[in-house]
């Protein structure tokens, strides 16, 4: 895991620089285009798989009040069961740099010219994986999932009385590691 994180340091540093310059002028949004594409494709793909029926897709930046909207996907059938997965799908974008870093650091590795190009492609992913405020508001439509998860957890603890004790024991040992 240490090699993977070390491999991603240049991409994280470049992401920070891109974040700094995009606040200076809209022209610099071009540096985040790859990340915006992945963000919107995640919405589109998960929405398509779960029946949210994507009807619009764009990655062309447009001004909305005092801020910029870098892209958007619209859905015709966003319901309680597919709203959160479709809205929070960009979180999956974080798997892209992690998978590439895992692939590049298997065995003995060194940072070469191909890795420099990958750094340029991976950096925007760190800026695009977090869902927007609109995405979070849409995800709230899936509040019944919270009830379902709680009920399943309670049923599991009721059916397996030792499960709750095992989980709380693991959590307390994890807390002592963090101290």
What average pLDDT does the chain have? 83
- Helix then strand then coil, in percent of the chain rounded to 5, is 70, 10, 20
pLDDT of 174:
46
Residues 100-118 pLDDT 10s:
999 999 888 888 889 999 9
Measured in degrees and rounded to the nearest 5, phi and psi for residue 62 equal: -145, 150
pLDDT of res. 64:
77
On whether the CB atoms of residues 101 and 119 are closer than 8 A, the answer is no
pLDDT single digits (tens) 3-47: 889 999 999 999 999 888 877 776 777 887 888 899 999 999 999
The 10 Å CB-count burial string (b at 16+, else e) for 108-122 is eeeeeeebeebbeeb
| Chain segment 114-154, per-residue pLDDT in tens | 999 999 999 999 988 999 888 888 888 877 777 777 788 77
Tell me the C-alpha to C-alpha distance, in Å, between residue 115 and each of 5, 79, 87, 96, 119: 14, 41, 31, 14, 6
pTM: 0.73
78 alpha carbon, distance to own chain's centre: 19
């Amino acid at each position: 895991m240490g090699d993977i994180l070390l491999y991603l340091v240049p991409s994280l540093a470049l992401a920070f620089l891109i974040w700094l310059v995009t606040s200076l002028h809209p022209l610099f949004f071009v540096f985040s285009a790859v990340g915006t594409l992945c963000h919107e494709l995640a919405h589109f793909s998960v929405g398509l798989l779960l029946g949210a029926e994507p009807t619009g897709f764009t990655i062309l930046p447009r001004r909305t009040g005092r801020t910029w909207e870098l892209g958007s996907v619209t859905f015709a059938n966003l319901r309680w069961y597919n709203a959160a997965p479709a809205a929070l799908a960009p979180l999956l974008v974080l798997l892209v740099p992690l998978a590439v870093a895992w692939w590049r650091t298997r065995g003995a590795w060194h940072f070469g010219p191909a890795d420099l190009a990958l750094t340029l492609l991976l950096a925007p992913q760190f800026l695009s994986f977090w869902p927007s405020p609109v995405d979070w508001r849409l995800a709230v439509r899936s509040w019944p999932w919270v009830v379902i998860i709680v009920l399943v957890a309670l049923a599991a603890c009721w059916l397996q009385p030792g499960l709750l004790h095992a989980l709380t024991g693991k959590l307390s040992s994890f807390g002592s590691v963090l101290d």
